[in-house]
Structure 1
Amino acid sequence: MTVFSRIIAGEIPCAKVFEDDHVFAFMDAGQVNPGHVIVALKRPAETILDMTDEEAGALFRAARRIAVAVQAAFKPEGLTILQANRPAGWQTVPHVHLHVLPRHADDGVTLGWPRKEPDIEVLRQLAGQIEVE
């Protein structure tokens, strides 16, 4: 059982922001900036790969609604919506969730990666390997 499952079950106290049939949202205990919200799937799916289309839609719809509310309440200069999968993808809690993170130009938050910029033929070859169902 993950820490998020325990929060959703009421075993660990939280500052709840939103709840519906699929989603439970609460303030991140490690506030990067005021208004930082975790939007978690109620069912304990580990990653986005383990969700149904219905659950994925519900999660992102809730994140959008929460982002609108965070924008109204905290007036950040920007918003980052972050979703990570598995440790190599920066996931720290194995329970699918999104971060709604209010941002300011000088907040010290970074997210970067080296750009590799292959040519268009390589991009087309890579695209050809992806079969969307």
Structure 2
Amino acid sequence: MECVFCAVVAGSEEAHVVHRDERTVAFLDRRPLFPGHTLVVPTVHLETLPDLPVDLLEPFFTVVQRVAAAMEGALGAAGSFVAANNRISQSVPHLHVHVVPRNPKDGLRGFFWPRNHYRDDAEAAEVAARLRSALTG
């Protein structure tokens, strides 16, 4: 089965496109949190953010940044929520960044899952050390 986002990129699947260039396409989400909720996708099929080649980071996230800024000017949004899922909760296995217009008292309550504390400072230090090792090793 063809990836629905690849079909949008190819033009064989209809979408309300708000931006298109040789590396990215941005289009309205079909099931928006709020009007203007936009998905930004690379034109090449990549499943997750870690798959995005370094040379595409800047052009891809420049479009994400431009879409976020446009929401304030074009839609009168006070700000935006920008997020990407990697595998878990990723409804379409094609890298996509959600850019959602936000306003005070719009009904969204921060993150959609419970937040917790570390057991103690030692646990936080151990987790940080593991991540540092993975990033430098």
Q: TM-score, normalised on structure 2?
A: 0.86
- The CA deviation at 1:2 is 1.1
User: How many residues were matched structurally?
Assistant: 131
- The CA deviation at 1:78 is 2.8
What residue is the counterpart of 1:50 in the other structure?
A: 51
What residue is the counterpart of 1:101 in the other structure?
A: 100
Q: Answer yes or no: is the 8 Å Cα contact 1:48–1:56 preserved in 2.
A: no
Q: Answer yes or no: is the 8 Å Cα contact 1:86–1:94 preserved in 2.
A: yes
What one-letter code is carried by the residue in structure 2 that aligns with 1:115? Answer: N
What residue is the counterpart of 1:73 in the other structure?
A: 74
Q: TM-score, normalised on structure 1?
A: 0.88
Note the alpha carbon deviations across 1:87-115, whole angstroms, 9 max, x for none.
Answer: 3xx21110001011012334333423231
Runs (5+) with no aligned partner, structure 1: none
Note the alpha carbon deviations across 1:66-85, whole angstroms, 9 max, x for none.
Answer: 11111101112331001001
- The CA deviation at 1:14 is 1.2
Residues in 2 aligned to 1:59 and 1:20: alpha-carbon distance in whole angstroms: 10
Runs (5+) with no aligned partner, structure 2: none
Note the alpha carbon deviations across 1:35-77, whole angstroms, 9 max, x for none.
Answer: 1111001111011121111222222111001111111011123
State percent identity of aligned pairs: 28
